[in-house]
Chains A and B, each alone.
Chain A
């Protein structure tokens, strides 16, 4: 029992509880980042990002028409799988606290749920931005290698402004995952709703637009997927920015506030 003597008893005397420093937010963010990738699921999601990036690059070199082997094509090919995988990472980061019940530990070590959620949101943004930078670099490598292999001209057609809007678009996708995690708080449930939102909803809006001519004007104001595509297809113009903002408020900010309220009031069991 000597272990207990040294580890438990050591600080019984020299401890001054009055001067305890609060847990800084940066520390919570760092731990939340770690928690995104330290599970088996997290590891494979991370691995799938890399694998999909490489596959997309090779696929582009093999199958894209030679004249389209440009930096933009490569960046888009790599960015697309990321917009699918990143929200899943964001969802699981939040729902795990409930589905895996780790919240019992997390929310007792940091007894302010808003702070934990802020840290999770920030760490999701960090991962998103990092992934986009990786996509940019892989795009550069792919473009240089691809054009060298096919012997076509090297074209740099991705402007800084365009890259910026792509990053914003990806972050909106990513934060949709964060929002769903907060509202639903169950891994399977949130994943199902996520796929409904990204796959089924745009189709429904598309059908509506073709069958109801009046809806065409309304669609960009309510269809988040459509509004986001303005961001991915080059810097949006005037009204399109407003449409991005309105759809983000409708599909992201409002439900996220509702989810936050639910989490603040709910019981952690």
Chain B
């Protein structure tokens, strides 16, 4: 378990992390989301004692990180896969971690196997590795002590689609075994698929947090029917707004379950009904809109929808 309590970091007058509090639970994957520069990495460095917080505290497995007698076998940490000596081989980097944590020497080969680095690749210097290979090596280093907690900063960066699928399965399995996973990302789709809980951060502050299921409730639906007009009429009659999207589907703010009920009562046969595809992405963009670097075009377009949802998520956060 990871417990973050009012973590704050000030650089001069800049507030990089502003009273961030959350708990990453065992058995669950917690996604730590936010745009570039939102304070994700600073928060994670504070969790593992690399950066001293201005105020607030963080505990991992019930203790401040620095109080862990042998952190490597309790917490696996990967903050930057590229932060490795370019002149060392992959196998050597794993061996250093294996010796420092004092685990069995065979763990090196086991980890190489686990992260699918071939013996030939393992004996190459990391300077010649692709980013994806470095990520795999970083995961192997984090897991070598067989920890129960994982703290990973942008682990999916640079992985190819097969690699991303592999990483997702691995984290899922780790959490299903009772492990705690905290991973940061700006790759929303990845987090949306693997995370059980989501903590969204923008401009150093938490903008919303909760289980993925709760947060995605109310992101709206995309629905098609043989008789679109009857469907929209029924939804309007129930007091819901609808819009016709470019590809002819009906888009609405209402969650799919409710749309289904309305359609059933109205006797409209549906041909398609699903949660709005870009649910998390939409929410991410609007909640972090004022902290985004490059404009808020998307955010403005959805402003009306957003306001409503903002209120909703504020209510949830409170």
Contact = CB atoms under 8 A, between A and B. Distances in A.
A101 B153 CA distance: 15
Contacts of B77: 105, 108
A102 B100 contact: no
B267 interface: no
Interface residues of A, number: 44
Contacts of B102: 21, 23, 27
Nearest to B125: A40
Interface residues of B, number: 51
Residue in A12, A40, A105, A111 with the greatest tally of chain B CB atoms within 10 Å? A105
A1 B87 CA distance: 32
A22 B69 contact: yes
Contacts, number: 133
Nearest to A104: B83
Contacts of B93: 105
B52 A17 contact: no
Contact of B51 (A22, A112, A268): A268
Contact of B99 (A8, A34, A104, A107): A34
Contact of A20 (B52, B73, B169): B73
A39 B70 contact: no
Given A9-B177, A20-B73, A31 B99 contact: yes
Nearest to A35: B96
Nearest to A19: B69
B79 interface: yes
A3 interface: yes
Contacts of B174: 4, 8
B187 interface: no
B83 A22 contact: no
Contacts of B48: 108, 111
Nearest to A9: B177
A7 interface: yes
Nearest to B86: A100
Interface in B157-177: 169-170, 173-174, 177
A23 B69 contact: yes
Contact of A109 (B45, B72, B85, B143): B72
A41 B87 contact: yes
Interface stretch (B60-68, B284-292, B301-309): B60-68
A31 B148 contact: no
A269 B49 contact: no
Interface in B171-212: 173-174, 177-179
B99 A108 contact: no
Given A41-B87, A268-B50, A1 B173 contact: yes
B280 interface: no
A interface, by DSSP: helix, strand, loop or mixed? helix
B74 interface: yes
Given A27-B100, A112-B66, A107 B83 contact: no
A261 interface: no
B168 to A, nearest CB: 12
B65 A111 contact: yes
Interface string A39-80: 111100000000000000000000000000000000000000
B296 interface: no
A155 to B, nearest CB: 43
A11 B145 CA distance: 11
A39 B125 CA distance: 9
B242 interface: no
B84 A105 contact: yes
B214 interface: no
B113 interface: yes
B176 to A, nearest CB: 9
Contact of A111 (B49, B83, B87, B92): B49
A214 interface: no
A28 B68 contact: no
A239 interface: no
Contacts of B65: 108, 111
A20 B69 contact: yes
B66 A111 contact: yes
Contacts of B74: 17, 20
Contacts of B178: 12
A101 B82 contact: yes
B141 interface: yes
Given A108-B48, A269-B50, A22 B87 contact: no
Contacts of A8: 143, 146, 170, 173-174, 177, 179
Interface of A: 1, 3-5, 7-12, 15, 17, 20-23, 27-28, 30-31, 34-35, 38-42, 96, 100-105, 107-112, 265, 267-269
Given A42-B87, A108-B75, A109-B72, 19 more contacts: A1-B173, A4-B169, A7-B111, A8-B174, A8-B179, A9-B177, A15-B148, A38-B96, A96-B85, A100-B83, A107-B49, A108-B71, A109-B97, A111-B49, A111-B71, A265-B52, A268-B50, A269-B45, A269-B51
Pairs of residues from A and B, 4 with the lowest C-beta to C-beta distance, nearest first: A39-B87, A101-B83, A22-B69, A268-B50
22 contacts: A4-B174, A7-B110, A7-B114, A9-B173, A9-B177, A20-B73, A21-B69, A21-B70, A22-B70, A100-B83, A100-B87, A101-B80, A102-B83, A102-B85, A104-B83, A105-B83, A108-B50, A108-B65, A108-B79, A109-B97, A111-B66, A112-B66
